[in-house]
């Protein structure tokens, strides 16, 4: 189990290093969608770690969840923008709450063992 | 197998997440440093509006410049007309020195005292008659001993002297007149005219046509203290 966590941390570090050295940034107009998508992706990863700790990890659910959550969050923000409603707030709140729940559960699992 | 794929996908997914986060960091930092998107759009809209305004105002400048030019043209013409009018008025008022063809008349008392009688002494009315005849013959400017005759000039006996423009003058009297020389002279020398009359009285008279005679302008300050223009 610890290998998974270490791999996750390692992947994150590599990703951040690569990302910081990529030569492009997101255009300002899309920065909002990107931020919500990143939040959703973060939530998915924590969800995956939690599932792994609870031993009902499913690779397909994890991968599809990751992408669909990110796309849904970005789509929601985009749609909200068109409608004039700040729908991305819904994504931020929903994923934020879930993020904390997942973190709490992961913490408990780690402390129990 | 399942574990391996799990590790693999976790690594890949977290890597993707890392990339997303890093890009987001940089974008956020970039946004902080630059103008917000909506502000930029606002400025672009404002810029295009101002550019349009600028074009419109450029057209206006051209239009107004043309008008100004026209007005200036008109102004210079008007100014020239006014100056011309002023010059004419000053000439008519007799306050500027003028010159032209004319006549010079010299009147003097007899040189030898024995021939001086009371009637051979030149009086104001003699000068007045000369001036009157010259005016009748179309004289445009007259001066007596350098004093210009204008509309308010007097020729008046003051004791044994004669005053012109409030200045005392003495013989010999030099009368200058601008006009048609022949006409002026003939008006004085016509038989039975003034020259004959003066000679009968014993006054010395000399008339002489001159190609160029200069009549000085009225030297004193011309002021109306009582008269005021009535608007018609």
Average pLDDT estimate for B27-49: 81
**Residue among A14, A25, A42 minimizing CB distance to B15:** A14
Q: What is the pLDDT of residues B138-191, one digit of tens each?
A: 889 999 998 998 888 888 888 888 888 888 888 889 999 999 999 988 998 888
- At the top level of CATH, the class of B98-215 is alpha beta
Average pLDDT estimate for B112-119: 70
pLDDT beyond 90 at B58: yes
Contacts with A28 from chain B: Cβ below 8 Å: 27, 30-31, 34, 36-37, 40
Residue B1 has which token pair?
Answer: 């197998």
Residue of B193 and B34 predicted with greater confidence? B193
Round to whole Å and give the CA distance between A98 and A106: 12
Q: Which helix (H) or strand (E) holds B207?
A: strand B204-215
* Residue partners of A62: CB distance under 8 A and separation at least 6: A44, A47, A48, A51, B6, B9, B10, B13
Residue B162 is classified by DSSP as E
Q: Where are the domains of chain B?
A: 34-93, 98-215
Share of chain A above pLDDT 90, in %: 6
Q: Is B161 in contact with B128 (CB distance < 8 Å)?
A: no
**Residue among A17, A24, A57 minimizing CB distance to B6:** A57
Residue B147 has which token pair?
Answer: 């004093």
A23 in reach of chain B (CB within 8 A): no
| Predicted complex ipTM | 0.81
Q: Is A71 in contact with A37 (CB distance < 8 Å)?
A: yes
pLDDT beyond 50 at B1: no
Q: What is the pLDDT of residues A51-92, one digit of tens each?
A: 888 888 888 888 898 889 889 888 888 888 888 888 888 888
| Closest-CA residue of chain A to B35 | A28
Q: Sorting pLDDT into bands at 50, 70 and 90, what band is B35?
A: low
């Amino acid at each position: 189990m610890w290998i998974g966590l270490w791999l996750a941390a390692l992947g994150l570090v590599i990703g951040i290093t690569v990302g910081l050295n990529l030569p492009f940034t997101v255009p300002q107009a899309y920065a909002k969608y990107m931020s919500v998508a990143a939040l959703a992706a973060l939530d998915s990863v924590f969800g995956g770690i939690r599932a792994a700790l609870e031993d009902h990890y499913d690779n397909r659910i994890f991968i599809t969840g990751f992408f669909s959550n990110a796309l849904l969050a970005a789509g929601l923000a985009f749609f909200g923008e068109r409608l004039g409603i700040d729908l991305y707030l819904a994504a931020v709140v929903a994923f934020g709450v879930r993020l904390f729940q997942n973190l709490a559960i992961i913490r408990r699992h780690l402390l129990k063992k | 197998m399942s574990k391996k794929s799990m590790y693999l996908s976790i690594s890949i997914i977290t890597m993707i997440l890392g990339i997303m986060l890093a890009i987001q960091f940089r974008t956020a930092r970039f946004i902080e440093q630059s103008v917000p998107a909506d502000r930029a759009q606002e400025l672009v809209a404002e810029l295009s509006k101002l550019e349009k305004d600028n074009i419109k105002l450029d057209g206006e400048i051209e239009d107004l410049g043309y008008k100004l030019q026209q007005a200036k043209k008109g102004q210079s013409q008007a100014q020239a007309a006014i100056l011309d009018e002023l010059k004419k008025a000053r000439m008519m008022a007799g306050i500027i020195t003028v010159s032209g063809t004319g006549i010079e008349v010299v009147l003097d008392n007899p040189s030898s005292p024995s021939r001086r009688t009371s009637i051979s002494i030149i009086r104001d009315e003699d000068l007045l008659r000369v001036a009157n005849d010259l005016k009748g013959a179309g004289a445009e400017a007259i001066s007596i001993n350098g004093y210009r005759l204008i509309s308010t000039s007097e020729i008046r006996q003051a004791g044994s002297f004669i005053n012109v423009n409030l200045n005392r003058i003495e013989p010999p009297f030099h009368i200058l007149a601008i006009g048609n020389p022949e006409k002026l002279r003939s008006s004085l020398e016509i038989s039975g005219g003034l020259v004959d009359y003066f000679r009968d009285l014993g006054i010395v008279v000399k008339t002489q046509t001159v190609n160029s005679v200069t009549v000085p302008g009225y030297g004193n300050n011309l002021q109306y203290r009582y008269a005021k223009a009535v608007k018609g």
